[in-house]
């Protein structure tokens, strides 16, 4: 059923265009690398260059990911799934639909991360993959899953044109959140912030927040009548 759910909104032609689009987006990571600097400078200012690359990469993902996630999920209430409700039940189809979108978004994120790690490893001297950078990227990924939950909760077939407003709000909120960090804002919307790394259980809270949001989305979609 996952393959059917996937195939009804992503044809081979769309997939080809989408992969080309992801490749172009991924290659833009080269703009944040200090490849024109001498090897000596890269070794001497290794921490400075690495911090700059990590910061710019995360900011870049926080702009690109909201747009990609909305583009992927805005048509989640496709009428092609309605006949399946009668055969398999709405609960089962909804679960498989949510799993399908999660798998595709995870695949998209991994596709973006490969050049982010591979390109600087070959083109620069200063880049050293670290667990801290991976932790930051995990927080960014979980942060953007909130957008998927909002699409499931609020974007219906009649209001698909307003879906892109969610990505715009996410980008603007992230920018404001970075400039004026408050701990209570993290509890309301657990977005990534550098200062949250000092707290021990921030990642657990993010995971719990996402799971709760997915469960509420599931309950809302199951109870919603087909119109």
Q: What is the pLDDT of residue 208?
A: 94
Taking the C-alpha atoms of residue 112 and residue 14, their distance in angstroms, rounded to an integer, is 18
Q: What is the pLDDT of residue 227?
A: 53
pTM equals 0.85
Q: What is the pLDDT of residue 40?
A: 84
pLDDT averaged over 10-residue windows placed end to end, the chain, 227 residues: 64 74 80 80 85 89 89 77 76 86 89 87 86 89 90 78 84 83 82 80 89 92 71
pLDDT in tens, 174-220: 888 887 778 888 888 888 888 877 777 888 899 999 999 999 999 98
Q: What is the DSSP string of the chain?
A: -HHHHHHHH--HHHHHHHHHHHHHHHHGGGGGS-TTS-HHHHHHTHHHHHHHHHHHHHHHHHHHHHHHHHHHHTTTT-GGGHHHHHHH-HHHHHHHHHHHHHHHHHHHHHHHHHHHHHHHHHH-SS----HHHHHHHHHHHHHHHHHHHHHHHH--GGGGGGHHHHHHHHHHHHHHHHHS--HHHHHHS----GGGGGSTTHHHHHHHHHHHHHHHHHHHHHHSPP-
Closest CA to 1 of 99, 74, 77: 99
Count, residues in the chain: 227
Q: What is the pLDDT of residue 210?
A: 93
> What are the extents of the domains in the chain?
2-223
Q: What is the pLDDT of residue 111?
A: 87
């Amino acid at each position: 059923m996952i393959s059917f759910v996937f195939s009804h909104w992503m044809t081979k032609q769309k997939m080809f265009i989408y992969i080309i689009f992801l490749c172009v987006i991924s290659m833009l990571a080269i703009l944040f690398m200090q490849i024109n600097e001498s090897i000596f400078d890269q070794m001497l200012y290794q921490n400075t260059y690495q911090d700059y690359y990590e910061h710019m990469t995360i900011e870049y993902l926080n702009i690109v990911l909201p747009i990609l996630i909305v583009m992927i999920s805005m048509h989640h209430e496709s009428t092609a799934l309605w006949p399946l409700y009668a055969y398999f039940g709405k609960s089962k189809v909804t679960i498989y639909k949510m799993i399908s979108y999660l798998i595709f978004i995870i695949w998209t994120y991994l596709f973006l991360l490969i050049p982010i790690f591979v390109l600087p490893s070959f083109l620069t001297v200063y880049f050293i993959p670290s667990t801290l950078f991976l932790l930051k990227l995990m927080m960014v990924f979980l942060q953007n899953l909130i957008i998927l939950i909002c699409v499931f909760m609020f974007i219906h077939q009649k209001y698909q044109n307003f879906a892109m407003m969610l990505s715009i709000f996410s980008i603007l909120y992230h920018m404001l959140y970075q400039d004026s960090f408050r701990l209570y804002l993290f509890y309301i919307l657990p977005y990534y912030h550098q200062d949250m790394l000092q707290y021990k259980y921030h990642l657990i809270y993010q995971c719990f927040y996402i799971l709760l949001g997915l469960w509420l989305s599931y309950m809302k979609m199951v109870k919603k009548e087909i119109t």
